[in-house]
Structure 1
Amino acid sequence: MSKNNPDYDYLIIGQGVAGTSLAWHLLDAGKKIQIAGDSNLPSSSKVAAGIFNPLTGKKLVKTWLADELFPYASAFYRHLESRLDTPFFYLASIFRPFRSIEEQNTYLARTADPAILPYVEQQQTKDFRDYVDAAYGGLEVIQSGWIDLPVLLDSSRNYFIENGLYAEERFHAADLNIQEENVIWKNRTFGKVIFCQGFMAHENAFFNWLPFTPVKGQILEIATEKALKADIINQGIFILPLTEFRARVGATYSWDPLDWEPTAEATAELEEKLKLIFKIPYRIESATAGIRPSVKDRRPLVGIHPEYNNVAIFNGLGTKGVTLAPYFANEFVQHLENGKELNPLVNINRYFSLYFR
């Protein structure tokens, strides 16, 4: 093929939630793509609980861009469920037990804010006191839930494989030949390469200058003999029911060492917090750890390399990847194909000074 007529429009490196979301949006835009992924590599998307929560933190702060992110993500995942004929999108309220009367008063006052009001259940009828310590009651957050990320990723990969869009192999930068107009990889030409490697971006010479601040997190899977409601509990940690008698519990935050191994110390930390709110016996079934691709300013890293106009990145989704990925995948495709300006808070040009210094 000539350099102005590549074999493919885009090469996507990585098939986590970022690469998968971007792939679907490029396909919907009519683009010819190839995804390079290694399913044996560790991935934060495989470990993450996949919870989406519009109100976070001790101060009950509305998630950045929640009014735009959440409706878009909901529509995207529902459409993809239908397309793949596979369920992985689950709406579930998040019950936040009050720690004290003072916290109860503070939170209830916060819910008077018109920006917060749509995300709080006003006619709360659910009772969790049979297994949650909620002596002061609690707040029920709505428009929340979780994505079963392993199911989403596996079913998407199966589709990509069946349609000749996916190459199962370890990516090596030495195999990539960046030319003036195109990119050559494995004797095929591509209009652009987009790196969606999560934490692995720290090994990528094109983008390792970006200010990633990766954070390790650990999650437990527990079993109980008492049935759990489908709703998520959140007070210092989350309890995410997978079935009536199984749940995920998490998560920790640590910076040293940054590896993929669960530790006894992190398990003990989670158990200590769990026992403060969980009133029934349980047993630990497993522990898993991952490294979140977080960023210094807590905003995604999206855009074109400062020197190579056919090299791009879609990364840095951090702890809120399940809502950030669909929305900004769409924004990035609109930027790449139609010239729409990227949100300056996510565009990597905000960090170009780090590259040229």
Structure 2
Amino acid sequence: MPDFDYLIVGHGIGGASIAWHLQKAGKTFKIAGDSTAPSSSLVAAGIFNPLTGKKLVKTWLADDLFPFATSFYSELESKLEAKFLYKTSVYRPYRSIEEQNTYLAQSAEPAIANYIGKSEDQDVVAEYVHMAHGGLEVVRAGWVDLPVLLKKSREYFSGSGQYIETKFNSEELKHSEAGVEWNGKKFGKVILCQGFEAVNNQYFNWLPFTPVKGQILEISSEHILKKHIINQGIFVLPTSDKTCKVGATYSWDPLDWETTKVAGDELEEKLKNLLKVPFRITAQAAGIRPSVRDRRPLIGVHPTLSNVCIFNGLGTKGVTLAPFFADQFVQHLENGKELNPLVNIQRYFSLYFH
């Protein structure tokens, strides 16, 4: 018999979501986490937005993901006695009269209409945002303060003896029919939730990750800002009434965690075109998104090692994907519930056996 049901490797939003769902299911586990390592979860703005893209497309599975995520985070706030879920709308300034007409026509579609607000704060937002043609308000959106959530979650699991601060090396895993052994303990299964680090992991480096580097700015302004997120080419996320996060850039080379002047200048220039009021850049950060070729998560069990699992590939929408699919994956592992084939790594098994 194993000492624990699961070993979870990583404590970003993926690993934390798995941990809380295993906790709810009454399973025993240890989390191997390294709080000193770079983490895309700690850089990400944590925005959830049901309507994205220039063409106003509804986010994949939004009707399922968004209610589940807000319920999950609300429960976790109570459990951890902390505030990290902020529900707010997104204002999308129209770039032209043509775009205004297009968006208004689209917003009449039943699938999209549920996510359109009445733009009641538009005049106040227009005091500091260029909105010559007005703007569309997207509701049932918001953001999650991931650094606060992950810190509180780590403190909770550390206090219960379930979190181990360590630099994990996958080569230290030993396999047997009963499970895996690590750090002198036996586990029924290991779930690797390592984000970008998965590309260096011998178990799953065959999966088609297409990691993307992103950079954001933190700014301050003397103008009082509404809590609404602004989205037009970049996002402006008010974190207080005078501070914002601004992002994000996309680049593929080099894939490192260093900030660059080029990215900072790009964001600053776009921000100058969006904001009417003066601002000051106070910080810049870089992260690497664990994105995937088909833009769907990578979840499932290794093709030949039935005790080795992965929960990864959450890309830019981790705050909504992680809670929902962590629940799905735990149900799959414990109760045999079928995984959505669009996220199951079985779709890529041909790459492994090639």
TM bracket (short chain): over 0.9
Match of 1:228 in 2: 225
C-alpha distance in structure 2 between counterparts of 1:14 and 1:186, whole Å:
15
Of 38, 44, 49, the match for 1:42: 38
Match of 1:57 in 2: 53
Q: CA deviation at 1:122?
A: 3.2
SS for the counterpart of 1:87 is coil
Match of 1:69 in 2: 65
**TM-score where L is the length of structure 1:** 0.98
Any idea what the Cα deviations from partners look like across 1:84-107, whole Å, max 9, x if unmatched? 000000001000000000000000
SS for the counterpart of 2:148 is helix
C-alpha distance in structure 2 between counterparts of 1:41 and 1:225, whole Å:
34
C-alpha distance in structure 2 between counterparts of 1:110 and 1:181, whole Å:
54
C-alpha distance in structure 2 between counterparts of 1:54 and 1:355, whole Å:
34
Q: CA deviation at 1:276?
A: 1.1
C-alpha distance in structure 2 between counterparts of 1:174 and 1:277, whole Å:
49
Q: CA deviation at 1:181?
A: 2.0
Q: CA deviation at 1:60?
A: 0.3
SS for the counterpart of 1:340 is coil
SS for the counterpart of 1:119 is coil
Match of 1:27 in 2: 23
C-alpha distance in structure 2 between counterparts of 1:318 and 1:174, whole Å:
26
- The AA in structure 1 aligned to 2:308 is V
SS for the counterpart of 2:277 is coil
Unmatched 5+ stretches in structure 2:
none
C-alpha distance in structure 2 between counterparts of 1:177 and 1:114, whole Å:
53
Of 281, 295, 300, the match for 2:297: 300
Q: CA deviation at 1:175?
A: 1.5
Q: CA deviation at 1:15?
A: 0.2
The list of structure 1 runs, each at least 4 consecutive aligned residues, that deviate by more than 4 angstroms after superposition, is: none
Of 172, 178, 183, the match for 1:181: 178
Pairing 1:286-325 to 2, within 5 Å after superposition: 286-325=283-322
Q: CA deviation at 1:173?
A: 1.7
Contact 2:91 2:138 in 1 (8 A): yes
Pairing 1:1-357 to 2, within 5 Å after superposition: 5-122=1-118, 124-127=120-123, 128-357=125-354
CA RMSD of aligned residues (A): 0.7
**TM-score where L is the length of structure 2:** 0.99
Task: Choose 276-285 or 125-134, whichever is displaced more.
Answer: 125-134
Q: Alignment length, in residue pairs?
A: 353
SS for the counterpart of 2:188 is strand
- The AA in structure 2 aligned to 1:38 is D
C-alpha distance in structure 1 between counterparts of 2:121 and 2:57, whole Å:
24
Any idea what the Cα deviations from partners look like across 1:260-294, whole Å, max 9, x if unmatched? 01100000110111111111111100000000000
C-alpha distance in structure 1 between counterparts of 2:347 and 2:140, whole Å:
32
C-alpha distance in structure 1 between counterparts of 2:77 and 2:226, whole Å:
23
C-alpha distance in structure 2 between counterparts of 1:62 and 1:84, whole Å:
32
Unmatched 5+ stretches in structure 1:
none
Contact 2:2 2:178 in 1 (8 A): no
Q: Percent identity?
A: 65
Contact 2:122 2:134 in 1 (8 A): no
- The AA in structure 2 aligned to 1:323 is T
C-alpha distance in structure 2 between counterparts of 1:155 and 1:224, whole Å:
29
C-alpha distance in structure 1 between counterparts of 2:143 and 2:170, whole Å:
34
SS for the counterpart of 1:319 is coil
- The AA in structure 1 aligned to 2:9 is I
